[in-house]
């Protein structure tokens, strides 16, 4: 069974700082990995989708990397802003099926 771990569980940084969120998964036989953002009580907003053949994906100030062999992904946020405050979730497909396994997320607070 696929297991996903996200570290740290919570992170508080001053505005303008660069930061890295980590995601690890136990089964490397995945075909993609997706990073989501969730505001309190809201649904999930997709940030980046990395296919298994890719090593990086970028969108604006966000950069996600994927190392399938080691079962790790990182989400890099440059020049953080208070509006980046949210919970960030990574998700991977389960082995032999197509549903997603999620980590418990990293709760990010950016202090003005």
Partner 1 sequence: DAGVTQSPTHLIKTRGQHVTLRCSPISGHKSVSWYQQVLGQGPQFIFQYYEKEERGRGNFPDRFSARQFPNYSSELNVNALLLGDSALYLCASSLAKGVGGYTFGSGTRLTVV
Q: Which of 21, 25, 36, 85 binds partner 1 (CB under 8 A)?
A: 36
Name which position in 4, 66, 86, 110 contacts partner 1 (CB under 8 A).
Answer: 4
| CA neighbor of 2 nearest in space, from 47, 46, 32 | 32
CA distances from 35 to 23, 51, 59, 82 (A): 10, 12, 12, 19
Nearer residue to partner 1 within complex by CB, 13 or 49: 49
Binding mask 45-64 for partner 1 (x = CB under 8 A): xx--x---------------
The alpha carbons of the chain give a radius of gyration, in whole angstroms, of 13
DSSP 94: P
Closer CB to partner 1, 58 or 79, in the complex: 58
The count of chain residues that interact with partner 1, using the rule CB under 8 A, is 25
- Contact between 27 and 19 under an 8 Å Cβ cutoff? The reply is no
- Provide the binding-site residues for partner 1, judged by CB under 8 A: 4, 31-32, 34, 36, 41-46, 49, 89, 91, 93-94, 97-105
């Amino acid at each position: 069974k696929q297991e996903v771990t996200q570290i740290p569980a919570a992170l508080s940084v001053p505005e303008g700082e660069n930061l890295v969120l980590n995601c690890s998964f136990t089964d490397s036989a995945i075909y993609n990995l997706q990073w989501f953002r969730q505001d309190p009580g809201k649904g999930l907003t997709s940030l980046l989708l990395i296919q298994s053949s890719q090593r990086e994906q970028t969108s604006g100030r966000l950069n996600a990397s994927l190392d399938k062999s080691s079962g790790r992904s990182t989400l890099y946020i440059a020049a953080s802003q208070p509006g980046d405050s949210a919970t960030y979730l990574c998700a991977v497909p389960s082995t032999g099926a197509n549903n997603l396994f999620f980590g418990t997320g990293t709760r990010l607070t950016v202090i003005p």
